[in-house]
Amino acid sequence: MLQSDDIVILGGGLAGLFCALKLAPRPVTVVTAAPIGEGASSAWAQGGIAAAVSDGDTPEKHTADTVAAGAGLVVERIARQMADEAGDRVRDLLEYGVPFDQDLEGALVCSREAAHSENRVVRVKGDQAGQAIMAAIAAAVRDTPSIRVLEGFVGEEIVKTRHRATGLLVRRVEDGHAFLLTTRAIVIATGGIGTLFARTTNPPQACGQGLALAVKAGAVLADCEFVQFHPTAIDVPGDPTPLASEALRGEGGILVDGTGHRFMAAYHAQADLAPRDVVARAVHEQIERGKGAYLDCRDAVGDRFAEHFPSIFRVCMEAGIDPRSAPIPVVPAAHYHMGGILVDATGRTTVDGLWACGEAASSGAHGANRLASNSLLESVVFADRIARDLGGLLPVPALIPARDSETSGGLEFSNGDANRAELRAVMSAKVSVVRHATGLAEALQTISAIERAAWSQSGRNTVLAAKAIAASALLREESRGAHFRSDFPDPRPEWAHRTFLTLTDINRAAQASQNRSAPDAA
């Protein structure tokens, strides 16, 4: 058994580590499956962090762009608070040693990405923001005595006492042994759900564990149907799929089909800089039509590629593509989850003693479609807010014995690789860029069958996250933002609200799908 005398943070990405640093010198235990920073989507972020820090830009403009991208579902108050605090959080990151790009006078260099009205994306060497931020934050965490890091552990269950979260059951990856951490507060910062899909830009740890833990503990989920598919993942072998940053289009890169024809102008007035959901569907359609989709940066970047976008350049060259002289083949891939655990402005969930931040949470800041480079911003803003909210809590140490049934057992499930592959395949085929009632009902039936297999607790958590997404997508009978239903291709006024789900709602939708008679797919 392990004992924690105060706060447990589940997740070793930017949100969790930033929260731990902001809580110092208060004792904190960080639980993470991979070494801190290494299993986090934040480390793979290429574009940067959005903040109104350049001349002529304002938090009001940033908020307006965020609201516009969110397709009517952004909680504007939350978005404005996030934009207001962006500059302070960027300065925090600078103090932690993040080497943001600066000009000769020391001013931050900002670039523009899709759907931004100003240059407001703060970067590091073009495409290395996530990697540089995580390296600096991880180093700061290791140098902070009040932070205890438990690497190689996964969270499996939240323990409650009188309706309050009071403990976290964790399992060691190496040997499958279970331990109970007792605590005054739990912060879920486990990241997203990308690896529920066959094509994703996310690391293997992004499988929805935190979302499942929370909903099983009684927390409400929000907006789970809204999964953002990045339109320009590089179409080369590999899992995860490497990413061609949106910053390339910000530099002037253009999307073309196999004949070299620019196609985005036919889909949106902003053409190649249209919101991600529009671009993802356009790329998907070009591929489905057999025309192919390519990102042509030869004129926009050309010989500057190796210097300005070294990570992307390296991936392309290793795949036999020279982006200086040839267009880059691209494909949509699961990238970011706007949905997650419902939280308020301080990161509190609907369960006492439980907070959430980062991609695992749904604050309403992103609505139906996240604005580019707002993900890292939301992570640090809400991590800071949670730290301030937890500052008023007194530690209440307690020991709760782990049940015998929880002290052993592996992390895998029977026929695990095949079941995982089947889950990812059905999510990509039926719950991806374009959805339909028939496919969603079939997906829920397949997911339910996989759930009945001999899964471990971690496996059951993964399938529950997939079921939540598919159920929420089936319930929303309209198209809005990143959620597109071919049987309901337009937004509907009666659906201009967020989606909230409990565990009962998820299971009820899954059960209804077993006997659902849906119209033929279009």
Residue 106: what pLDDT? 86
Residue 395: what pLDDT? 52
Residue 521: what pLDDT? 40
Sheet containing 153-161, strands listed edge to edge, beginning at the edge strand earlier in sequence: 153-161, 164-172, 178-182
pLDDT classification of 274: cutoffs 50, 70, 90? confident
Domain edge (last residue) among 332, 365, 382 = 332
Q: Is residue 117 a part of any domain in this protein?
A: no
Q: Is residue 211 a part of any domain in this protein?
A: no
Residue 22: what pLDDT? 97
Q: Does the pLDDT at position 210 exceed 60? A: yes
Q: Does the pLDDT at position 412 exceed 50? A: no
Domain edge (last residue) among 332, 350, 369 = 332
Q: CA dist 383 to 19, 155, 187, 189, 347, Å? A: 4, 19, 9, 9, 8
pTM over 0.85: yes
The domain in which residue 486 lies consists of: 411-513
Q: What is the per-residue pLDDT across 103-115, written as a single tens digit (0 to 9) for each?
A: 888 899 898 887 8
Q: Does the pLDDT at position 449 exceed 60? A: yes
Q: Is residue 16 a part of any domain in this protein?
A: no
Residue 479: what pLDDT? 97
Q: Is residue 448 a part of any domain in this protein?
A: yes
Q: Which CATH number is 240's domain given?
A: 3.90.700.10
Contact predicate 415/314, CB 8 Å: no
Q: Does the pLDDT at position 520 exceed 50? A: no
Residue 406: what pLDDT? 41
Query: Mean pLDDT, the chain, as a whole number?
Result: 90
% of the chain at pLDDT higher than 90: 75
Q: Residue 471: how many CA atoms within 13 Å on its side-chain side? A: 25
pLDDT classification of 44: cutoffs 50, 70, 90? low
Q: Does the pLDDT at position 408 exceed 60? A: no
Domain edge (last residue) among 284, 314, 332 = 332
pLDDT classification of 40: cutoffs 50, 70, 90? confident
* Strand (E) or helix (H) holding 30: strand 28-32
- The count of structural domains within the chain is 2
Closest residue by Cα to residue 294 from 270, 269, 266, 325: 325
Name the burial class of residue 320, with classes exposed (0-12), middle (13-18) and buried (19+) by CB atoms within 10 angstroms of its CB: exposed
Q: Is residue 477 a part of any domain in this protein?
A: yes
Q: Which CATH number is 415's domain given?
A: 1.20.58.100
Q: What is the per-residue pLDDT across 144-184, written as a single tens digit (0 to 9) for each?
A: 999 999 999 999 999 999 889 999 999 998 988 899 999 98
Q: Is residue 463 a part of any domain in this protein?
A: yes
Positions annotated as catalytic residues are 276
Sorted by sequence, the CB contacts under 8 Å of residue 205 that are 6+ apart come out as 33, 34, 39, 40, 190, 191, 195
Residue 405: what pLDDT? 38
Contact predicate 297/249, CB 8 Å: no
Q: Is residue 172 a part of any domain in this protein?
A: no
Q: Is residue 492 a part of any domain in this protein?
A: yes
